[in-house]
């Protein structure tokens, strides 16, 4: 009873909290269907009505309907989400951002290009290249970027991919 | 207790439904998913001894099919609330292929005579469809999710952990027992989804620092629509007492706390939960049948699993006031607690997954017998993915049950055993 009362006190706090929303596929599912890895056709069921906006279910390791590894793809999108997106090709595994100028340094701007190199979750499966320009005399000119910047971003992508993989595997 | 849960549910419902932040609206989608499997099973089971031996003997080989159809609705409102519904239709575990006309000359409509099938079982065909889980849900990014409908609670459902069943047909919790005839020959165990999908309300929280928690409540163990009966009796969902029949769960409450995290590349998940309930009261006090009432459930459940480099290991331990397989514990001379341990491991390399699991359980069994009932199962199996959603499976499962002083089909105190080999194909879309 005391535990339930404590739970009752916690629940209203949850409404004001900052937790991460748990998706339905993170809950245990005891159906026989849930025990089969992947889905024929790559998507979770046959869409009868509406527009498909979901990420592929099952077979997430190899990306399902994606042409590249789903974890690396999602992780790259997450990592580069601070930049405005110009194009994202999930089949070719190419993500290209637009130029972005941080408010703190309006005299320089960045853009990034990311390539997901395959369907396997590997440490060499992603390449990120960052471009930098500086404003000189009213026009933007190319400026060098430290090689460690690209590596750091790749490491962030890999860390995020590993996190997504762990979350998925522990369901 | 239930007032507290209902009140907290109302609080959360207000929080969930009251969110007004702008968000991208998504028109609802309707999907149909499905599952089909075909198994060949070689079943070597005990078939009784002495007075328990049937005049009908069983063969060993059989084919069996099974299917599920899921309808999945999902959408997102402009205020950020996600919503949806799931309806699962299945060919159920209908063990009897008899019609009412084959039993007692067609007059069989009520409770089953001793040793015979219940009316519900008697009229079931092995090809009948019924609903499995069906529920509607609403979820907000900050307040969590509410589900309303027929499904498992949070302890052996949404937040369950430690049940490694991703190989073969599921091993201990797989298809083996679909092939074994007679409840005395099927050992008890506890796995995810083991309690029935009684109609309930389920709350699950967002995840905070790796933790999420949940609670569920159902007034009774009845599933589906309507009252469950036409005349007052134990079949009624709202049954409060009984004179002849079995006790049923009332006011089932579950609460669970789950943690998920990653340490040095190892994914860890743990759950601690509690299942509690009341029980319908036995009003039969005739001296000839000195059977007391049943006790409600009060069971703690603890699960832990780890995943790394394609391998997953896990265990789940349940202990508390219950009889075998989370059935209600009747008053009697033996009121020992239920102890259940499930362990499992699996390893996936490329398209191949191999694994093994086992379950040990001790319980009161026959409460008028002082000895413990002991059930144990072990299983090894594999599956090979021909394509995403299409797999070949093979599995061997062995189980036994025994209680000193009680005849569980093979004579007083003897062990009853069943061994099942299964190979088959299954698909999901």
Q: Is the CB of A40 less than 8 angstroms away from the CB of B37?
A: no
Q: Give A127 to chain B, closest Cα distance, Å.
A: 21
B353 CB neighbours in chain A (<8 A) are 37
Q: Is the pLDDT of residue B51 over 60?
A: yes
Q: Give A68 to chain B, closest Cα distance, Å.
A: 15
Which pLDDT score, from 0 to 100, does residue B382 have? Answer: 97
Q: In the structure, how many helices (H) and strands (E) does chain A have?
A: 3, 6
Name which of A3, A9, A10, A15 to mutate to probe chain B: the one with the most chain B Cβ atoms within 10 A of its Cβ.
A15
Which pLDDT score, from 0 to 100, does residue B24 have? Answer: 61
CA distance B19 to B14: 9
Scanning B322-351 for CB atoms below 8 A from A yields: none
Chain B CA closest to residue A37: B389
Q: Is the CB of A40 less than 8 angstroms away from the CB of B428?
A: yes
B178 in contact with chain A, both atoms CB, cutoff 8 A = no
Confidence of residue B323 (pLDDT cuts 50, 70, 90): very high
User: For residue B417, what is the enclosing H or E element?
Assistant: strand B416-428
B385 CB neighbours in chain A (<8 A) are 37-38
The pLDDT tens digits for B280-299 are 988 876 555 556 788 999 99
Are B146 and B9 a contacting pair, CB within 8 Å? yes
Q: Is the pLDDT of residue B121 over 80?
A: no
Are A78 and A160 a contacting pair, CB within 8 Å? yes
- Nearest CB among B255, B267, B383 relative to A4 is that of B255
Which pLDDT score, from 0 to 100, does residue A164 have? Answer: 86
B170 in contact with chain A, both atoms CB, cutoff 8 A = yes
Q: Is the pLDDT of residue B307 over 80?
A: yes
Does residue B228 come out as left (phi exceeding 0), alpha (psi in the -120 to 50 range) or beta?
A: left
Q: Give B26 to chain A, closest Cα distance, Å.
A: 8
3-state SS class at B176: helix
Q: Give A119 to chain B, closest Cα distance, Å.
A: 12
Are A154 and A127 a contacting pair, CB within 8 Å? yes
CA distance A13 to A9: 7
For chain A, list the domains and their CATH numbers: 57-169 (3.30.530)
Q: Which tokens belong to B207? A: 């995840």
B143 CB neighbours in chain A (<8 A) are 14-15
The pLDDT tens digits for B84-120 are 999 999 987 665 544 444 444 444 444 444 445 554 4
A41 CB neighbours in chain B (<8 A) are 389, 429
| Prediction ipTM score | 0.86
Which string of DSSP letters, residue by residue, matches A65-127? TSSS-HHHHHHHHHHTTTS-EEEEETTTTEEEEPPB--TT-TTEEEEEEEEE--SS--TTSEE
Report which of B85, B74, B86, B87 is spatially closest to residue B25, judged by C-alpha positions.
B74
Q: Is the CB of A42 less than 8 angstroms away from the CB of B388?
A: yes
For chain B, list the domains and their CATH numbers: 2-17+29-92+128-428 (2.40.160.10)
Looking at per-residue confidence, does B287 or A23 come out higher?
A23
Name which of A1, A13, A21 to mutate to probe chain B: the one with the most chain B Cβ atoms within 10 A of its Cβ.
A21
**Percentage of chain B exceeding pLDDT 70:** 84
Asked which of A83-87, B75-79, B104-108, B392-396 is least confident by mean pLDDT, the reply is B104-108
Looking at per-residue confidence, does B277 or A86 come out higher?
B277
CA distance B36 to A110: 51
Which pLDDT score, from 0 to 100, does residue A92 have? Answer: 84
CA distance B412 to B371: 12
Confidence of residue B183 (pLDDT cuts 50, 70, 90): confident
Q: What is the dihedral of CA B335, B156, B344, B377, to 10 degrees?
A: 40
Q: Residue range B198-226: average pLDDT?
A: 94
What is the average pLDDT score of chain B?
86
Q: Is the CB of B260 less than 8 angstroms away from the CB of A163?
A: no
- Nearest CB among A4, A39, A52 relative to B29 is that of A52
Looking at per-residue confidence, does B356 or B78 come out higher?
B356
Q: Is the pLDDT of residue A58 over 50?
A: no
Looking at per-residue confidence, does B7 or B296 come out higher?
B296
- Nearest CB among B160, B266, B389 relative to A40 is that of B389
Which pLDDT score, from 0 to 100, does residue B19 have? Answer: 46
| C-alpha torsion sign, points B407, B412, B413, B415 | negative
Name which of A16, A18, A33 to mutate to probe chain B: the one with the most chain B Cβ atoms within 10 A of its Cβ.
A33
Confidence of residue B10 (pLDDT cuts 50, 70, 90): low
Q: What is the dihedral of CA B220, B226, B230, B231, to 10 degrees?
A: 20
Q: What is the dihedral of CA A48, A50, A53, A55, to 10 degrees?
A: -20
CA distance B229 to B238: 9
Find residue B390's DSSP bridge partners.
B387, B427
Find residue B249's DSSP bridge partners.
B279
Looking at per-residue confidence, does B356 or A67 come out higher?
B356
Which pLDDT score, from 0 to 100, does residue B104 have? Answer: 43
Q: Give A4 to chain B, closest Cα distance, Å.
A: 7
Q: Is the CB of B88 less than 8 angstroms away from the CB of A31?
A: yes
Q: Give B370 to chain A, closest Cα distance, Å.
A: 32
CA distance readout (Å), B78 to A17, B24, B28, B82, B196: 20, 6, 12, 9, 35
């Amino acid at each position: 009873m005391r535990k339930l009362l404590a739970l009752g006190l916690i629940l209203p706090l949850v409404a004001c909290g900052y937790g991460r929303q748990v998706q339905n596929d993170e809950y245990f599912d005891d159906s026989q269907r849930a025990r089969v890895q992947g889905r024929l056709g790559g998507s979770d069921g046959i869409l009868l009505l509406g527009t498909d906006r979901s990420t592929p279910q099952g077979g997430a390791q190899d990306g399902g309907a994606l042409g590249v590894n789903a974890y690396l793809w999602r992780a790259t999108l997450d990592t580069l989400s601070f930049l405005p997106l110009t194009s994202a090709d999930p089949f070719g595994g190419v993500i290209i951002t637009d130029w972005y100028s941080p408010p703190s340094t309006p005299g320089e701007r960045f853009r990034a290009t990311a390539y997901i190199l395959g369907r396997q979750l590997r440490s060499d499966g992603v390449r990120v290249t960052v471009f930098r320009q500086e404003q000189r005399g009213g026009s933007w000119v190319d400026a060098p970027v430290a090689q460690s910047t690209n590596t750091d971003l790749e490491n962030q992508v890999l860390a995020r991919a590993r996190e997504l993989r762990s979350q998925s595997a522990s369901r | 207790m239930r007032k507290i849960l209902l009140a907290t549910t109302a609080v959360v419902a207000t929080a969930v439904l009251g969110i007004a932040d702008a968000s991208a609206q998504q028109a609802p989608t309707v999907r149909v998913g499905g599952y089909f499997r075909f198994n060949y099973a070689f079943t070597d089971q005990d078939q009784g001894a002495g007075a328990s031996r049937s005049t009908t003997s069983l063969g060993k080989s059989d084919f069996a099919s099974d299917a599920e159809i899921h309808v999945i609705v999902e959408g997102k409102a402009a205020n950020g609330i996600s919503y949806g519904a799931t309806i699962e239709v299945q060919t159920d575990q209908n063990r009897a292929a008899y019609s009412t006309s084959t039993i007692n000359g067609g007059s069989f409509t009520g409770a089953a005579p001793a040793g015979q099938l219940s009316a519900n079982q008697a009229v079931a065909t092995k090809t009948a469809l019924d609903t499995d889980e069906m529920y509607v849900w609403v979820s907000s990014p900050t307040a969590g999710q509410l589900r309303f409908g027929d499904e498992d609670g949070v302890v052996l459902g949404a937040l369950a952990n430690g049940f490694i069943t991703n190989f073969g047909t599921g091993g201990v919790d797989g298809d083996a027992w679909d092939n074994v005839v007679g409840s005395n020959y099927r050992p008890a165990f506890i796995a995810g989804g083991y309690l029935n999908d009684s109609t309930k309300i389920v709350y699950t929280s967002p995840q905070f620092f790796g933790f999420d928690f949940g609670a569920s409540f159902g007034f009774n163990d009845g599933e589906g629509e309507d009252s469950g009966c036409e005349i007052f009796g134990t079949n009624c969902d709202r049954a409060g007492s009984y004179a002849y029949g079995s006790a049923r769960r009332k006011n089932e409450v579950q609460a669970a706390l789950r943690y998920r995290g990653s340490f040095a590349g190892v994914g860890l998940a743990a759950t601690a939960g509690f299942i509690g309930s009341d029980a319908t009261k036995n009003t039969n006090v005739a001296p000839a049948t000195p059977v007391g009432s049943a006790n409600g459930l009060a069971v703690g459940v603890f699960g832990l699993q780890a995943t790394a480099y394609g391998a997953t290991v896990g265990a789940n331990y349940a202990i508390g006031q219950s009889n075998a397989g989370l059935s209600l514990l009747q008053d009697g001379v033996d009121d020992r607690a239920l102890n259940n341990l499930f362990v499992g491991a699996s390893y996936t390399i490329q398209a191949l997954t191999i694994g093994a699991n086992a379950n040990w359980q001790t319980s009161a069994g026959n409460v008028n017998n002082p000895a413990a009932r002991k059930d144990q199962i072990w299983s090894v199996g594999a599956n090979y993915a021909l394509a995403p959603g299409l797999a070949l499976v093979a599995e061997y499962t062995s189980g036994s049950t025994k209680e000193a002083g009680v005849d569980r089909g093979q004579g007083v105190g003897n062990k009853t055993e069943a061994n099942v080999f299964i190979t088959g194909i299954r698909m999901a879309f």
